[in-house]
């Protein structure tokens, strides 16, 4: 029964992840851009809303076994909470260089109504960010979100399985995201890839060379 619940959680999360990734794919945006024209400006807003809805459906449908992995007590729960707060601060710092209105899809709609939306932007335009905290990891928001979710005083089975799925999804998603960024920013981004870790500031040895994870 427990194994079935775990498999169900993983399968449902995969369905969410596939839907989320499919809607984010450039091919889908290009097809919609050809059909919608400048109305593609509304896509980012739709995408974000759909992502929230699909995740809520995952949360509501997924089984939640009454199994506690661990429950930290004083002072370890306080220590864990402090690290969680620090991780949240890291998320905020990582998000500061990003145009959050653009990320949310609001700026696109504003440009559309002002009559100056460029449909070649598809659903979003963001500059290449390589300074600040982005000098140390390419995806600091992923890193600090993982830490924020992981530093938890109490961990049940549903949360633990979902957390593992999120970590894997972030890593796989970053690979596809970077393929799009290579096409968008070219050599500047390829040079950035060589010198900056992906999510975790760690290296592995491959023969006589070391590479970022």
Q: Which domains does the chain have, with CATH numbers?
A: 2-212 (1.20.120)
Omega into 75 within 30° of 0, i.e. cis? yes
Tracing tokens 């609001």 back to the chain, one arrives at 106
- So what's the pLDDT on residue 117? 83
Q: Is 133 left (phi over 0), alpha (psi -120 to 50) or beta?
A: alpha
Q: Cα-flanking dihedrals φ and ψ of residue 185, to 5°?
A: -110, -10
Tell whether the model's pLDDT for residue 211 goes beyond 80.
no
200: Cβ contacts below 8 Å, ≥ 6 apart = 137, 143, 213
158: Cβ contacts below 8 Å, ≥ 6 apart = 9, 62, 63, 64, 65
**pLDDT tens digits along 107-163:** 999 999 998 888 777 767 778 899 999 999 999 999 999 999 999 999 999 999 999
What value, to the nearest 5°, has the Cα angle with vertex 114 and ends 124 and 123? 15
Tell whether the model's pLDDT for residue 208 goes beyond 70.
no
Q: Are residues 173 and 145 in contact, defined by beta-carbon separation less than 8 angstroms?
A: no
Average pLDDT over residues 53-66: 96
Its pTM stands at 0.91
Rounded to whole angstroms, the Cα distance separating 147 from 166 reads 11
**pLDDT tens digits along 39-53:** 889 999 999 999 999
Kind and range of the H or E run holding 201: none
């Amino acid at each position: 029964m427990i194994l079935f619940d775990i498999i169900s959680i993983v399968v449902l999360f995969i369905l969410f992840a596939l839907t989320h990734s499919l809607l984010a794919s450039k091919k889908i945006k290009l097809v919609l851009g050809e059909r919608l024209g400048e109305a593609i400006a509304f896509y980012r807003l739709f995408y974000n809303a759909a992502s929230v809805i699909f995740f809520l459906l995952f949360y509501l449908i997924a089984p939640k076994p009454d199994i506690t992995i661990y429950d930290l007590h004083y002072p370890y729960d306080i220590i864990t909470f402090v690290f969680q707060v620090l991780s949240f601060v890291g998320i905020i710092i990582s998000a500061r260089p990003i145009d959050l209105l653009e990320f949310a899809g609001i700026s696109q709609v504003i440009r559309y109504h002002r009559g100056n939306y460029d449909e070649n932007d598809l659903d979003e335009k963001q500059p290449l960010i390589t300074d600040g905290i982005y000098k140390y990891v390419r995806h600091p928001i992923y890193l600090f979100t993982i830490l924020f979710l992981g530093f938890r005083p109490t961990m049940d089975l549903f949360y633990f399985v979902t957390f593992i799925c999120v970590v894997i999804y972030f890593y796989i998603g970053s690979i596809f995201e970077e393929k799009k960024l290579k096409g968008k920013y070219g050599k500047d981004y390829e040079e950035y890839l060589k010198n900056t870790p992906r999510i975790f500031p760690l290296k592995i040895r491959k023969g006589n060379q070391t590479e970022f994870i």
